[in-house]
Amino acid sequence: MRRAIFPGSFDPLTLGHYDIIKRGVEFFDEIVVAIGINAEKKYMFSLEDRKRFIEEAFANEPKVVVKTYTGMTIDFCKEIKAKFILRGLRNPADFEFEKAIAHTNRKLSKIETVFLLTAASTSFISSSIVRDVIRHDGDYKMLVPNSVRVK
């Protein structure tokens, strides 16, 4: 089975994330959307909400599974027998950052990183931008899947 993980905090899931996952299912038998848990980080959305946003967004896609993890991503890959890490690239800065992580992961394990370019229509979207729009009571709905709703 070609299993990939798509790791992130997904605080919240954006249309950019959605696009990468939706396109990624064409290449893999299963994509595990892996929500990393970092006790040091302050999140806008609870872990339960972030998980629900993703599960609802992909409710009709059996190849997408949502799990949480702590620790190093490559250790989680080994634990669930994922041979690939899926990552989206929005811009050259993303590439440089992700390339360094991919080289490190490859040096520490046999896990390959697969990059997909984000769609031009979503390349400007980041979770931090969405959070900022939400904090300022802006219309965030055009930046996220319908499953993402502020209470």
Instruction: Report the catalytic residues.
Output: 17, 41, 90, 127
DSSP state of 149: -
For β-strands 64-69 and 30-36, DSSP reports them as: parallel
Phi, psi angles (nearest 5°) of residue 86:
-100, 130
C-alpha–C-alpha distance, residues 58 and 64, integer Å: 7
Q: What is the DSSP annotation of 85-111?
A: EEEEE-SHHHHHHHHHHHHHHHHHSSP
Place of tokens 């690939």: 84
